Structure 1
Amino acid sequence: MQNEADRCTGAGPAVRNAVGGSVSRWKELPAGLPAPVHQLIVRLRGLKDRSELGTRQLSARTGYSAKSWQRYLNGRALPPREAVEAMCRVGGDDPTRLLALHEIAAQHWAEGRPDATEPPGSPAAAQEPARQERQPHGRLLRTAVVAGAVVTVLSVSVALLLAVRLTDARAQLARERGDTVTTVPATVTESLVPVIYTCRLERADGRWYAGLSRTTDVLLSNTQVGLEVAEAQCLLRRAGTAPGDVDGVFGPKTRRAVERMQKRNGLIVNGVIDPPTWQALREADPK
């Protein structure tokens, strides 16, 4: 007989495993979910499937009720941070990046969703026009508060995106240099500490390389992070327009250095490293 808790998720028929759990065929998430929330729930569903546990078994392992997990995994409620950590333990996954995603999702969830409002015929909706007429100043205040919250969400989202990209860049650099030492995954706070890369300049076939990337066409601009950015910073330094530290982070100093280099070489001055800028960095002597 199908597990009653799993049946309540609306996931359809389930496949039994050897320990009596089930792997659900998930139903579609609500269309109004913000993208970070949607991605978080998909990741949590994947961990549940990997654990091969039913929602009742998941409740026993995590301390959150089966009904709570039904709401979390079907997009009706945002799981708390502790529930995400518990699911990572059950699914055997490191929680660092999923918690970073959860933080972004929580900010978006706090803004409210279109499908979470009261229906037109509800008592709350009927009373709303009169309340708005009586409280015009309150409505303006709410608008200002929401605008401030949007700015905060965007700032936090950019910072967390930089953290995740910088963690990926570290792992990529370790793989390319043959580093076989296992390191502890960086936390979000740790990953915001810049990594200083070493420039190993050499010239081959008339082009300059710094030993970090051989790209000639990847577009780089503000907020981007990775080995390609570090390569460009090395070449900017060689060209005499130093961008500051070679940390693999495309920030204001790097943008200004790119603009100075583009102006010296007669390129379009846009602060973006595009194919013509790469060509000038690879081939030109310092001016």
Structure 2
Amino acid sequence: MSRWKALSESLDPAVIRFVVELRGLKDSSGLSLSQLARRTGYSASSWERYFDGRLLVPFEAAEALAGAVGADPVRLRVLYEAAADARRPARAAPDRPPSEPEAGAGEPDAPPELSEARPQASRRGFARPFARPLPRPEPRTVLIVLVSAVAGSALTLLAVQPWQPDPVRLSTAAAATPAAVPYSCHYTRSNGLWFAGNSDTRTDLVEVDMSGAEVAELQCLLQRAGISPGGIDGHFGPLTELAVIREQQAQHLSVDGQVGPQTWEALRG
């Protein structure tokens, strides 16, 4: 894996995550900067600025890099959009348009007999046609329609019985819900190293989408270092990944979002 320069701490975490993803694709491709420039059409100096986080890479160039290693374009697009939103300056709220004058404002008063006969003007100035009154339905017809509607609703409720629990649905939901694994942090210090009571590993590679006691240990140590991983649930998700990136930046380690021997040593020290 290439030895990358630590990213600036002033960068937004979304930008950092996208740059880290680009660096990982570059490492996986095995391409040099000059080879990458020939393949994407962007100069090697531009790619240096992209990998340093000084400029946001155009998505077409990032997509070409992903295609060289068969990376998931959907995941890359999501990370790119988040980074682009973080780089985009906040837009000022548009001025509120002036309120429209009320209809008829400023017009001379018309005699009552003329104002009653004149059709009202719509907002765009077109005259509305005279509305012909609709015939009133017979009371008996209205009553029949209402009684029929109520009776139909009652029959539907009796047939469906939504208040009764569905045993099949309940059993399926119970089977699909995994049992939660409780994790907690019990900090101890031994031989100058910190442990949280979940795992004593100092070398195991832990990365995104992994779950288990090693991830819970990592989350506890990040929390002890003052960097929130989003909770102690034993799952290496996006919040835990961002916390790892921040720890690697603070310790001037290679920023890749993965936890190996160097990151373990920094967290336990």
> If the TM-score is normalised by the length of the shorter chain, which range does it land in?
0.3 to 0.5
Q: From the two aligned structures, give the one with the greater helix fraction.
A: 1
TM-score for both structures, normalised by structure 1: 0.32
Pick the structure with greater CA Rg. Answer: 2
